[in-house]
Structure 1
Amino acid sequence: MTNYIKLTFVLVLLSFTSCSDVIDVEVPTATERLNIEASIDWQKGTTGNEQTIILSTSTPYFDTTIDNTVVGASVKVTNIDSGTEYIFTDQNNGTYTISNFTPVFNNTFTLEVLYNNEVYTATETMIAVPAINRAEQSLEGGFDDEVLDVTIYWDDPEAEENFYFSKFDYQELLFPNLDTGSDEFSNGNEMDEFFERDKEDDDGNSTEFLPGDTVEISLYGISERYYNYLSLLLDQYYGGGNPFSSIPAELRGNCINVTNSENYAFGYFRLSEYDTLTYTFE
């Protein structure tokens, strides 16, 4: 009986070690498209004169060696209300910068990008944001009453419909945590947004916030259209691996190729005021 068990174990072990054939799977490659990262962010208390727009091209999912920066493009933003044009300078590394931009609340701006003899345009309005009143930590504001969380508070303007997105960032996080919100059910009241880290990761390592940890928090005012776009994008991102989540779909921003509509771009053009603070847990 013992010999039989040993023989069975050896056969099972061989069956696992012998399956070493490499299977090459052909992954379809989508059409290369222009990526437009055009976020005009105006921090409270600053002039907002210095702005950067980033252009790149899409790459195959598994290819990490391609230089996808876009150089040689022309980038211009125009204030439609005043007629003022702002020409961004090509830095030859995929970034296009300007140091004399003038943001104006509720004015409409148009982005124009000329790349490979095709013109891409987008239109948005500069949105203001209330100041962050304060940030508070607790053990009760989040989902787990055993870990620290942090909450920011701000006063929502009563006379208008408002949309927001918040960003929480800290050193160990690969990508900032983003969330969207509106004043649909809290118009004119004090609003809040909280953030907490899980008590531990999948490997059992502690990841919760501890006294002395620091988090960077920002609150942005955004348009309703961008709110809808970003909400769908975040639903797909955070819903990955969830069997009950909606089926992922390609999301298109507000950048339109007026030369060739079939060769559309990825990305979004928005203009937001934001308030920010740094919070250290006690």
Structure 2
Amino acid sequence: MKNYIQNFGLLFLALVVFACEDVIDVDVQSAPKRLTIEASLDWEKGTSGNGQTIYLRTSTDFFDTASNTAVTGAVVKVTNMDKGSEFSFADQDDGSYTTTTFEPIVGDTYALEVNYNGENYYAEETLYPVPDLTVVGQSRDDGFSEDDLEVNMQFVDPQEEGNSYFFKFQKEGALLPVFEELDDEFVNGNKIDWYYESDEDDDTDEMEAFKPGDTVFIEFYAISPAYHDYLQILINQIGGMGIFDSTPVSVKGNCINLTDPENYAHGYFRVTQMVKASYTFE
């Protein structure tokens, strides 16, 4: 009798395992292939900023990881609209286009032009000055948890209204950075205190609180109000959806197609000044 029960149990387990091996086909929506423009001309304060790279690729279906998306053969240039100077970006035959002659000038407006497959893409951005950033140390006072370490920073916002910024934080050894955006709507012209605290993700366990000996790398950017709004939407979508959030949709950047407006490009053309810092916790 005992042997019979064991055999019956094994048979039942086998049926369950085989039942779980059914293949379920899921229809995934596909979208038209579009040009993707990664044009971030970031000028680190205190450097010349002459060397810059723009990346062109094509979009693919979500599960397509095998296609070569690099775009070659395009004509790429950036023009300083205030001075009239032009900067050509050379095709490197791998989807990247480079220049060593770019001249960043605070307050000037720049225009990106990309000619690809007989269509002209265009975008404009203005270069804003970034304040100096001071890393003042560490504490446990400002974050969500009074037990966790955080890095504390300060900067002085200029008197001019409409300044926007974003931070990029990356813990040494972490796979992905964390982005935070802000504007000076309620703090214009004041000294601003900012902090960053690394929390553990309950779903992925990819992050954990800072501990002594950890190092965090910090990048601080001055950005245009338009890019601030674009980045705010992206950060909200990356952060995940709650039960009351709207369904994420494709976010349009500032790269318009002058030839066929319906065939717009993904991505954004930005021109920023930025500063870098790092901090090692004690």
Give the aligned residue type for 1:17: V
Task: Determine helix, strand or coil for the equivalent of 1:123.
Answer: strand
Which residue matches 2:24?
23
Deviating more after overlay: 251-260 vs 186-195:
186-195
Which residue matches 2:227?
226
Deviation string 1:121-161 (CA, Å, 9 cap, x unpaired) is: 00111111101022421112211111111122100112332
- Structure 1 residues 267, 203: CA separation in 2 closer, same or farther (over 3 Å shift)? closer
- Structure 1 residues 88, 245: CA separation in 2 closer, same or farther (over 3 Å shift)? same
- Structure 1 residues 202, 238: CA separation in 2 closer, same or farther (over 3 Å shift)? closer
Equivalent-residue separation in structure 1 for 2:206 and 2:221 (angstroms) = 33
Which residue matches 1:113?
114
Deviating more after overlay: 159-168 vs 190-199:
190-199
- Structure 1 residues 206, 31: CA separation in 2 closer, same or farther (over 3 Å shift)? closer
Equivalent-residue separation in structure 1 for 2:237 and 2:5 (angstroms) = 49
Task: Determine helix, strand or coil for the equivalent of 2:174.
Answer: coil
Equivalent-residue separation in structure 2 for 1:69 and 1:199 (angstroms) = 35
Query: Which TM-score applies when normalising by structure 2?
Result: 0.92
Unpaired segments of 5 or more residues in structure 1?
Answer: none
Which residue matches 1:58?
59
Which residue matches 1:248?
248
Equivalent-residue separation in structure 2 for 1:77 and 1:204 (angstroms) = 42
Q: Percentage identity across aligned positions?
A: 47
C-alpha contact 1:156 1:189 (8 A) present in aligned 2:
yes
Which residue matches 1:128?
129
Equivalent-residue separation in structure 1 for 2:24 and 2:7 (angstroms) = 30
Equivalent-residue separation in structure 2 for 1:3 and 1:168 (angstroms) = 61
Deviating more after overlay: 157-166 vs 69-78:
157-166
C-alpha contact 2:163 2:222 (8 A) present in aligned 1:
yes
- Cα deviation for residue 24 of structure 1 reads 2.3
- Structure 1 residues 8, 172: CA separation in 2 closer, same or farther (over 3 Å shift)? farther
- Cα deviation for residue 216 of structure 1 reads 0.7
Write out aligned runs for 1:40-119 (5 A).
Answer: 40-119=41-120
C-alpha contact 2:172 2:214 (8 A) present in aligned 1:
no
Deviating more after overlay: 168-177 vs 67-76:
168-177
Deviation string 1:41-100 (CA, Å, 9 cap, x unpaired) is: 110100111111111111111111111111111100001111101001111111111111
Which residue matches 1:209?
210
1:261 aligns with 2:247: no
Task: Determine helix, strand or coil for the equivalent of 1:136.
Answer: strand
Aligned length: 281
- Structure 1 residues 264, 200: CA separation in 2 closer, same or farther (over 3 Å shift)? closer
- Cα deviation for residue 118 of structure 1 reads 0.7
C-alpha contact 1:201 1:207 (8 A) present in aligned 2:
no
Which residue matches 2:39?
38
Which residue matches 2:270?
270
C-alpha contact 2:161 2:185 (8 A) present in aligned 1:
no
Query: Which TM-score applies when normalising by structure 1?
Result: 0.92
- Cα deviation for residue 246 of structure 1 reads 2.7
Equivalent-residue separation in structure 2 for 1:23 and 1:160 (angstroms) = 55
Equivalent-residue separation in structure 1 for 2:79 and 2:5 (angstroms) = 79
Deviation string 1:159-198 (CA, Å, 9 cap, x unpaired) is: 3321001100123322210011011111111113322222
Which residue matches 1:236?
237
- Structure 1 residues 45, 203: CA separation in 2 closer, same or farther (over 3 Å shift)? closer
Unpaired segments of 5 or more residues in structure 2?
Answer: none
The alignment's C-alpha RMSD in Å is 2.3
Which residue matches 2:150?
149
Equivalent-residue separation in structure 2 for 1:62 and 1:199 (angstroms) = 28
- Cα deviation for residue 210 of structure 1 reads 1.4
